[in-house]
Amino acid sequence: MPHVAVVTDTTANLPREMTAELDVTVVPLYVIFGPDRTERESDITDYRAFFEELRRAESLPSTSQPSIGDFMGAYAPLLAEGLEIVSIHISSGLSGTCHSAVQAAEQLARDGKGGERIRVIDSSTVAGALGLVVLGASAAARAGATGEAVEARAHATRAELKMWFAVDTLEFFKRGGRIGAASAWIGSALRIKPILTVERELTPVERVRTGSRAFERLVGYARQRHEAGADAWAVQHIFAEEEARRLVERCTEVFGCEPVFVSESGPVVGTHTGPGLLGVGSIPARMLE
């Protein structure tokens, strides 16, 4: 039996059937549409309707981290079972989620409810990349590792991780205030297809001029990962199912195996990127053993 429970948040964008099978607890972030409408990300299931609303919106919704109470509610039953917890979350450069998790752990410790058995990890990334880190930690937990060893696996997986994504424009990042180091590209944002990664904050990698060129560059990055021996891979998209299907086909040829998962990023990430995101990344398969 595992001695460690793994917790993450909805920005990991792991398929729900996968988190259910692995018994990973997922704490939702929030999308705030206005003073009278706030929704948990996990409750927004019609992504097509959400992104159509996003396209039409004069002002973007905002997003918010889970509350301290949300985390306490997730942690308390696990601690009551005598488990240690490794809680892995979206980069602190993008969200206050880790801060809420730490505060919840501290409060549970003060209340004598085992909060000292919680280890909070800032993944310094988001979306499918965060999902891969969570899967690495989950593999160690299911193998019976201690909390310290599961934490170490999460950090080792993050160190081996590379993920890139292409977006149609930087305008959504600019409007949402999450532009980071890519701000220098804003002037040409409508004339390029940016390729980005997340290293604590949004980090520019490359500028290309067409969507087809961006697609081929993602395939090229997949080849680099295969040559480096990092063959546990995933594809991420936002409202780009056909492009994701094509990328899966090409990358299956590159890696010689099926993806660990393919998923669509949810409304929290989508609010800041807009629709059209396409991404690929990988870790060494040994991280999932």
DSSP characters for 165-233?
EE-S-SHHHHHHT--GGGGGGGGGTTTSEEEEEEESEEEEEEEESSHHHHHHHHHHHHHHHHHTT--EE
- What pLDDT is attached to residue 181? 46
Domain 4-159 classification at class level: alpha beta
List, in order, residues 6 or more apart from 227 with CB less than 8 Å away: none
The H-or-E segment that residue 38 falls in is strand 37-40
The domain locations on the chain are 4-159, 162-288
Q: pLDDT higher for 14 or 190?
A: 14
Q: Which of 24-28, 60-64, 75-79, 277-281 has the lowest mean pLDDT?
A: 60-64
pLDDT at 191 over 70: no
Question: Residues 58, 94, 135, CA angle at the centre, nearest 5°?
Answer: 120
Q: Which of 28-32, 88-92, 188-192 has the lowest mean pLDDT?
A: 188-192
Per-residue pLDDT reduced to its tens digit, 195-231: 888 888 878 888 888 889 999 999 999 999 999 999 9
Looking at every residue in the chain, the average pLDDT score rounds to: 91
Tell me if 70 sits within 8 A of 25, measured CB to CB.
Answer: no
- What pLDDT is attached to residue 184? 46
- What pLDDT is attached to residue 187? 46
Per-residue pLDDT reduced to its tens digit, 92-134: 999 999 999 999 999 999 999 999 999 999 999 999 999 999 9
Q: Which two tokens stand for residue 111?
A: 């209340």
pLDDT at 64 over 50: yes
Q: pLDDT higher for 240 or 177?
A: 240
pTM for the model: 0.92
Q: Is 205 exposed, middle or buried (0-12, 13-18, 19+ CB in 10 A)?
A: middle
Domain 162-288 classification at class level: alpha beta
Q: Positive or negative CA dihedral for 186, 188, 193, 194? A: negative
How far CA 205 is from CA of 157, 163, 181, 194, 195, in Å, comes to 21, 11, 10, 8, 6
- What pLDDT is attached to residue 180? 54
Q: Is 177 exposed, middle or buried (0-12, 13-18, 19+ CB in 10 A)?
A: exposed
